[in-house]
Amino acid sequence: MWQRAWPHVLAVLFFVVLAVAYFAPIVFEHQTLAQHDITQFQGGAHETQQWAAEHGHEPLWTNSMFSGMPTYLISVHFPGDLFVYVQKFIALGLPGVVSNLFVALLCGYVLLVALGVRPLVAVAGAVALGFSSYNLAILAAGHNTKSWALAYAPLVLGGLLLAMRQNKWLGAALFTLGLTMNMRANHPQITYYLGLLVVIYGIIELVAAIRAGRLPDFFSRVILLGVGALLAVGVSFGRLYTTYEYSKYSNRSPSELKALPAQPGQAAAPSARQQDRDYAFAYSYGIGETMTLLVPNFYGGSSAMPLGKDSHIAAAGLPEEYLTAMPTYWGDQSYVAGPVYVGVTVCFLFVLGLFVVDKRTRYWLLAGTLVSFVLAWGKNFETINNLIFDYLPGYRSFRAVSMALVIAQLAMPLLAALALSRILRPRMAVVPAGSPAAVPTEPLHPALAKAARAAGAPAVAVDSADNLHRIKQLLYAGAITAGFLLLTWVASLSFDYASPQDANLTQSGFTPQLMSALRADRAELLHNDIWRGLLFVGLTLAALYFYLKGKLDARLAALAVAALVLLDLWTVDKRYLGEKNFQTETIAESFQPSPADTQILQDKDLSYRVLNLGNPFNEARTSYFHKSIGGYHGAKLRRYQDLIERQISQNNTGVLNMLNTRYVIVPPQKQGEAEQVQRNPGALGNAWFVREVKAVASPDAEMTALNTLNAKQVAVVDTKKFPDVKPATYADSSSTIALTSYAPDALTYRYTAAQPGTVVFSEIYYADGWQAFLDGQPVPHFRADWALRAMQVPAGSHEIKFVFEPKEYKVGNTVSLLSSIGVLLAVGAAGIFGFRRREQESS
């Protein structure tokens, strides 16, 4: 058992060493990774986390962003999800991003070992999967959920392949575990792309099953995997259910408003469908940009690339302090942190795989790669992608279609690793000793030695008849890959290296000389990577060629290729996640209150809102300290997005007043100045009685009414949506109401009124979960003024309480708990049964 286990133990230890070495400043110097999105997340989640720490329960609503929204997509935990403990176990207690890289390597290794690949080759494949540049680039950006979903994707594929082609029970256990962990990472878009790769595989396997006449066996395995998938979905059901319900109200759903009419001289506004497409296709990979999988600096690398003192632009006179972040990227995307690079060594082995790997596998992985390219091209290949966007189920829920390249990021290294395994597989034959055909090359593989003993014949290892054929295939693959690189060099001689963003540089003071020097640097970056790629292809080809010629041991050949894969990817990854990305400052230390924040925090009223005029809807720092009008999140409430676009961005102070915007932070107007705080005297407070309820009959009429609305006196209600609310006027002006108790998910008010009336609350209306109570008894409430809560109340002195208790959370948490128990039992049982079956078959 130890002889079988020790290579795997060494592999796991090696992965720990790799992950720790890459993130050494975090482990040994106690630095942190400067992750923009994680910093923004901490700002948006601070109210929720602080409340949970102080009061012992996590609120499901926060008022710190966009005047109020559910925390489903910000920070929420489901106690029923027991796999949080499995996550901790698999991650070995390593620090956050270190454990992320380690798990990516580990799952890649498990995938290949499950396919029968020898450990050393599996290590090479795991490095190819784990160190793909996109994995590190998204960690640098703080897209941790995306990275975790990608890390577990190979585990899903390993279980799928094992279940469909070998041990269905063991494979189903691995598949269920992998999919459970992938889905609980809570990045549905990555899971969706993984699902597309699985569907392509299923189609190819179905065709093969029909041809072979084994449909019953095929469907029995599919059903077993289907049961595992249902259990995996169940574990994440709480997240999925709440996200699904929220999506109906988020800005990922269409607006109820008609498009604004075009202004004189402007083009007509695009249709709602076209707007959705434009939003989704905003980040589309260029067709030519796909070459970055082979040549990372094909389009200049990133939008903020460091250049050295020996660069052309430095020689042209640009001050040294600007060289650390130069816009070397010259593609069509507005901003890129780095290219999607799978490695030139991996690309070479991928091409080799198209020759040597079995047809079903190579057709599947090639098809997945090509589909990935087409989807990632987005608006650059509209003929196909518009149809896919409109008709592929669920696809229009996502944005940033360039992310589809994660399919290629999985498929290409997998085929590359299988190609390496096939080339390094001992080509031996069992023949009588002394036979003229016997040409000893290396000791017999244990399996062949066992076969020889069973046959009663002495045996030696010999070159197989197709050895020359393998050498030809290797040379063909090398010629194709090197040919692509050389053609790229030839084509690059005609490139102008001009970026659509260069006009901004010219406006900011870039002289023609500096612009010319920058373009020369872009050309040099491309040419250097071409020659670098040719070197790696040549070294990889040489290692495998000498192995096939019997000049190099299989272990040494595998070790050489693994080292080349690691060196290739590591050095490129460091361009986009290197020393510049680490900082000594912790996230908590980055949220130090400014003098403006300190001034506002002197106000101890229970609840009021703050508007930071410095990029308000793309920053969450304000949310860390205050209840913010703005925030940072890709899925705002649809109605709030409409309010931003139609009213707040048009400087409608009446809307800011009804949102109880008590303070406005004005950014510095000149360098060296500090932020200024202005108190807004028009803020309407937490709640108020109106004198009139005005009925409108459409969403557009309701939004238009806000243009001139005096929200202190009049409430506008769409009576088609709320038919029980009737227009009314009220004479009583002595009614009072005040907020007496505040929690993010529970608000209490006391009011006194001589006559019945209508109260408007400066809180965001959200139909799914908020319940209203009058003196402890449930009462209805409705939406007014497009986005606020309102209630008709009786005369007298009473208490009103709003509580956020969405049924989706309770139901989802219960299902998650039951499914967690089910997966643990099912995976354990299937794993034990599968191992026993394997032992019986091998004995």
b/e for 584-597, b at 16 or more Cβ within 10 A? Answer: eeebeeebeeeebb
- Split at pLDDT 50, 70, 90, the class of 446 is very low
Q: Where are the alpha helices (DSSP H) in 252-402?
A: 272-280, 312-315, 344-356, 359-377, 382-391
User: 89-108: per-residue pLDDT in tens?
Assistant: 999 989 889 999 999 999 99
The per-residue pLDDT for 271 is 65
* Between residues 34 and 49, the one the model is more confident about: 49
C-alpha distance from residue 825 to each of 173, 231, 236, 828 (Å)? 10, 11, 17, 5
The per-residue pLDDT for 431 is 45
Q: Which two tokens stand for residue 75?
A: 């920070």
- Split at pLDDT 50, 70, 90, the class of 465 is low
Average pLDDT over residues 400-428: 90
The per-residue pLDDT for 506 is 83
pLDDT for residue 834 is more than 80: no
Which of 749, 755, 824 shows the shortest CA–CA distance to 789?
Answer: 749
For the ranges 161-165, 195-199, 586-590, 760-764, which has the lowest average pLDDT?
A: 586-590
User: Exposure of 99 by Cβ count < 10 A (0-12 exposed, 13-18 middle, 19+ buried)?
Assistant: buried
DSSP one-letter string for 666-716: EPPSSTTPPPEEEE-TT---SEEEESEEEEESSHHHHHHHTTS--TTTEEE
Phi, psi of 748 (to 5 degrees): -120, 135
Beta carbons of 31 and 584 less than 8 angstroms apart: yes
The per-residue pLDDT for 631 is 92
Percent of the chain with pLDDT over 70: 92
For the ranges 51-65, 270-284, 309-323, 393-407, which has the lowest average pLDDT?
A: 270-284
Q: What mean pLDDT, rounded, does the chain reach?
A: 89
User: 285-315: per-residue pLDDT in tens?
Assistant: 999 999 999 999 999 988 888 898 899 999 9
- What's the full length of the chain, in residues? 843
The per-residue pLDDT for 101 is 96
At how many degrees (to 10) do helices 188-212 and 215-235 cross?
A: 170
Q: Which two tokens stand for residue 816?
A: 């998650």
The per-residue pLDDT for 732 is 80
Quote the pTM value: 0.88
Beta carbons of 655 and 680 less than 8 angstroms apart: no
Beta carbons of 52 and 43 less than 8 angstroms apart: no
- The answer for residues whose C-beta is within 8 angstroms of residue 461's C-beta and 6 or more apart is 426, 428, 440, 441, 442, 443, 444, 445, 448
DSSP one-letter string for 316-340: TT--GGGTTSB----SSSS--SS--
Beta carbons of 691 and 729 less than 8 angstroms apart: yes
C-alpha distance from residue 264 to each of 66, 268, 271 (Å)? 33, 10, 18
Query: Is residue 577 left, alpha or beta, with left meaning phi > 0 and alpha meaning psi from -120 to 50?
Result: beta
- Split at pLDDT 50, 70, 90, the class of 500 is confident
pLDDT for residue 278 is more than 90: no
- Split at pLDDT 50, 70, 90, the class of 264 is low
User: 386-410: per-residue pLDDT in tens?
Assistant: 999 989 998 888 888 999 999 999 9
* Between residues 700 and 334, the one the model is more confident about: 700
The per-residue pLDDT for 445 is 44
The per-residue pLDDT for 163 is 93
Which of 451, 473, 248 shows the shortest CA–CA distance to 354?
Answer: 473
User: 773-802: per-residue pLDDT in tens?
Assistant: 999 999 999 999 999 999 999 999 999 999
b/e for 289-298, b at 16 or more Cβ within 10 A? Answer: bbbbbbbbbb
C-alpha distance from residue 313 to each of 111, 132, 308 (Å)? 46, 30, 9
For the ranges 387-396, 588-597, 804-813, which has the lowest average pLDDT?
A: 588-597
pLDDT for residue 433 is more than 70: no
pLDDT for residue 670 is more than 90: no
Q: How far, in Å, CA of 751 to CA of 183, rounded?
A: 46
Domain map (residue ranges) of the chain: 31-74+592-685, 687-805
The per-residue pLDDT for 2 is 67
User: 502-538: per-residue pLDDT in tens?
Assistant: 888 888 878 889 999 999 999 999 999 999 999 999 9
Residue type, 404: A
The per-residue pLDDT for 461 is 47
